[in-house]
Structure 1
Amino acid sequence: IATRFAAFLKNAWAKEQVLVASFCIRGLAIILPAHSPYTTYALRINPATPYNYPVHPQGPSLERQKCKYTHSLKPLY
């Protein structure tokens, strides 16, 4: 099977170099991102990242944490 595939590639490269090159680049573009260090790092860091966002404090016990100058802010535009 390997010899027939090698013969096919040799024949295809002799006839249509642009198509063979484009398919090789396309194949690498599909395969290589799965093996990149960024993907490996992202797969490890995503489960460790909490999925909650900070909210504005509410209630009488949290009044001290609120910014007292937010009502005096004016838009910069």
Structure 2
Amino acid sequence: MLPVQCRMARAAVGWGVRDLAAAAKVSIDTVARFERGDELKVRTVEAMQRALEAAGIEFINGNGGGPGVRLAATQKRQTRKK
């Protein structure tokens, strides 16, 4: 996950920095530092990515069109929440 993907993912699910921090069990400052482009431990970034994926985000690799995010299909998201 790239910092720009993190910002896009939060916007897609309507989360603020605090929401992601709480869901990933990291500090608000950690999320802000990552989104500014600071390097974090891999496991910290993975925790934030897992939290966003659990909220219904799918990460798209930069395969020619640049990296991005999208919301998972509604049915898929409902399955994850159960």
TM class by smaller structure: under 0.3
Q: Write 1 or 2 for the structure with the bigger share of strand.
A: 2
Q: Structure 1 length normalisation: TM-score?
A: 0.20
**Structure number with larger C-alpha Rg:** 1
Whose RCO is larger (CA < 8 A, sep 6+)? 2
Q: Structure 2 length normalisation: TM-score?
A: 0.19
Q: Write 1 or 2 for the structure with the bigger share of helix.
A: 1
